Structure 1
Amino acid sequence: MIPRALKRLLHRATLKDPAYRFLFAPGPPGEAVAFDCETTGLDWRRDDICSIAAVRIKGDRILTSERFEAVARPRAEMRAEAIKVHLLRESDVEIGAPIETVIPRFLAFIGGRPLVGYYLEFDVGMVNKYLRGLLGIELPNPMIEVSKLYYERKYGDAPPGSVIDLSFRAILNDLDLPALDQHDAFNDALMTGMMYLKLRDLKERGVRIARLRDVEEPQTTLA
């Protein structure tokens, strides 16, 4: 596997359209973008993006007035399992924009800012699927995975045998954050942004998330 730093240099050199060199420049100081995709299924090779949303984070604020939302018209068939999750029907996405017009707008919105997400690898992989064809590159932005931040704050010092729950719901509950309707791309991006800010604050203050004792210590008895 090519190291990410080397891949970034290669992509910068092979970028098809120099108008997108801004992706390789650092974003504004103290800013990041939380984003999420809804898709026709969970196989990035066969499935397509049907909606994508992002919101900017500046310092300790989520700028809901600076958001990106788009419904895309997928080429892949909408899988029944996916429709049950995000509730987007064939009739909803038929009026969406072609993904080839959505991706450039998304890139203009994120710029070179770090990307924040929950299981970000999948969403980034879906965007890269189109980006390789359009520009010959993958997203070069720094990545911030909230489940990793949460794991470090709650389970980083957990003993062997601890029960680990990295679900979206568990993170919301532990951080005492509101649960918006999930599997709506903007709501998911917004909740992910809130997770990031709270986890970053806990880390900066050296505070860990309390957990129940998962493994009982051996009991000793007197003979």
Structure 2
Amino acid sequence: MFASFFAKRNAQNLKDEQYRFLFEEAPVDEVVVFDTETTGLSPKKDEILSIGAVKIRGNKILMSEKFELFIKPSREINEKSIKIHQIRNVDLENGIDPHKAIVQFLHFIGSRPLVGYYLEFDIKMMNTYVKPWLGINLPNPQIEVSGLYHDKKIKFIPDGVIDLRFDVMMNDLGLPIFGKHDALNDAMMTAMMYIKLRNIEKV
């Protein structure tokens, strides 16, 4: 009941009718898996540096429709941040304007459900750009792969302690880990995890 109320209120707050498509019915059996790289872990003060995403239709990752953008930040990236995501200031010299990046991302995802690993953080980062501009939070349904993994695993683990680290889940599912850590590679690995979890009874 409350979810329906907040969804309706969110839709009413939309400032630009050009983006009403975000609230339309999603294409059947399609989702978008996405990931971001950011300057830090605070949605209130940090910025998105890159976005990687892929569409899934049924059990197929649509690599021909992958999405990858690098965004020019408002200030230089500090050394501590670079060590985590390996994105240097020089790598973003040709990055695009944040607003243009979010516009492209919204048209890419449409109204499809969004899938991710610790997706809540990526959604919060996106909403720091979307909310001031459009007056809404992203309305797309959200699917957390660590939640799917937990629900598959919990009934077979007596003590209920489940390791939800990304590499641990990938190895447990027998999926390959790509060497390069970036938003697109992470999105692709998460997409493989999502498909595997959809199609097995137990982990």
Q: Same fold (TM over 0.5)?
A: yes
3-state SS, counterpart of residue 62 of structure 1? strand
1:75 paired residue number: 74
State the shift of 1:181 in Å: 2.8
1:123 paired residue number: 122
**CA 1:165/1:76 → structure 2, altered by over 3 Å: closer, same or farther?**
farther
Residue pair 1:51, 1:185 contacting (<8 A) in 2 also: yes
Q: Distance in 2 between matches of 1:118 and 1:76?
A: 27
2:13 paired residue number: 14
Residue pair 1:51, 1:71 contacting (<8 A) in 2 also: yes
1:185 is aligned, of 183, 186, 203, to 183
Residue pair 1:41, 1:81 contacting (<8 A) in 2 also: no
Residue pair 2:116, 2:144 contacting (<8 A) in 1 also: yes
Structure 2, gaps ≥5 residues long: none
Structure 2 counterparts to residues 67-146 of structure 1, below 5 A: 67-146=66-145
Q: Deviations over 1:46-100 (max 9, x none)?
A: 1000000110000010001111110001125423232112110111123211111
Q: Deviations over 1:121-147 (max 9, x none)?
A: 000000000001110101000000000
1:51 paired residue number: 50
**CA 1:96/1:60 → structure 2, altered by over 3 Å: closer, same or farther?**
same
Query: Percentage identity across aligned positions?
Result: 49
3-state SS, counterpart of residue 147 of structure 1? helix
Normalised by the length of structure 2, the TM-score is: 0.95
Residue pair 1:37, 1:49 contacting (<8 A) in 2 also: yes
1:220 paired residue number: none
State the shift of 1:157 in Å: 4.5
Residue pair 2:61, 2:191 contacting (<8 A) in 1 also: yes
Residue pair 2:173, 2:196 contacting (<8 A) in 1 also: yes
| Larger Rg computed on CA atoms | 1
Structure 1, gaps ≥5 residues long: 210-223
3-state SS, counterpart of residue 92 of structure 1? helix
1:212 paired residue number: none
Q: Distance in 2 between matches of 1:150 and 1:135?
A: 34
1:164 is aligned, of 162, 165, 181, to 162
Residues 1:148 and 2:172 are matched in the alignment? no
3-state SS, counterpart of residue 73 of structure 1? coil
Q: Which amino acid aligns with 2:132?
A: G
**CA 1:125/1:3 → structure 2, altered by over 3 Å: closer, same or farther?**
farther
Q: Distance in 2 between matches of 1:62 and 1:100?
A: 27
Residue pair 2:153, 2:162 contacting (<8 A) in 1 also: no
Q: Distance in 2 between matches of 1:183 and 1:41?
A: 16
2:202 paired residue number: 208
* Cα RMSD, aligned residues only: 1.5
3-state SS, counterpart of residue 71 of structure 2? strand
